[in-house]
Structure 1
Amino acid sequence: MNFAQTPEPPYYAVVFTSRRTDGDNGYGKTAERMVELAQQQAGFLGAESVRAEGFGITVSYWSDEASIAAWKKHAEHRIAQETGKALWYADYAIRVCKVERAYGTVFQTA
């Protein structure tokens, strides 16, 4: 996994935290498809994800709130959301944040 290459702030982050149920049940394939599909959406800037012992955090970055709202309503994404609630997630939380500052070694330029 690499760091997302985001622009200078401001931009938005959607933090999706989840605890999975047992078994894959098609989750892996759908998760890959959602990343592939998100990359095609207007306003998508990148994503970072980590999962360990059934607990996961995915942060997707967006240029504006309208792009986040459009992604939330996307037909194929809606199906994945409903399947997640019914089958893949024991618990989940979604947080939408405005990034006003960003710093660290990944932002340094030569």
Structure 2
Amino acid sequence: MSLKFTDENFEQEVIKADTLVLVDFYADWCGPCKMMAPVIDELSSDFEGTIKVGKLNVDNSPATSSKYKVMTIPTLLFIKNGEVVDTIIGVVPKATLVEKINSFK
């Protein structure tokens, strides 16, 4: 199961993380986000202990969504050492995300 990121825990869980973090910006009402949800959960299991994988609900955490200028969902941010190292917008195959994650190891 993926982690749950919020405005309140984003700094501690993501920015200060000592590993790569994949953040899925989503909303409950978003169809494409629902398509990505199982993929995000699978990645969380597949990479458990090596990277952090979590979701941030844009409706519940507007400050973080605004800070990272998330205008379209799903938006996937790859954050390493507190900095965004890559962004993917929209629905993509799991293989694309695995390849991207492996490129940052």
**TM-score for the superposition, normalised by structure 2:** 0.31
Report 1 or 2 for greater relative contact order, CA contacts < 8 Å, sequence distance ≥ 6.
1
User: When you count strand as a share of all residues, which structure comes out higher?
Assistant: 1
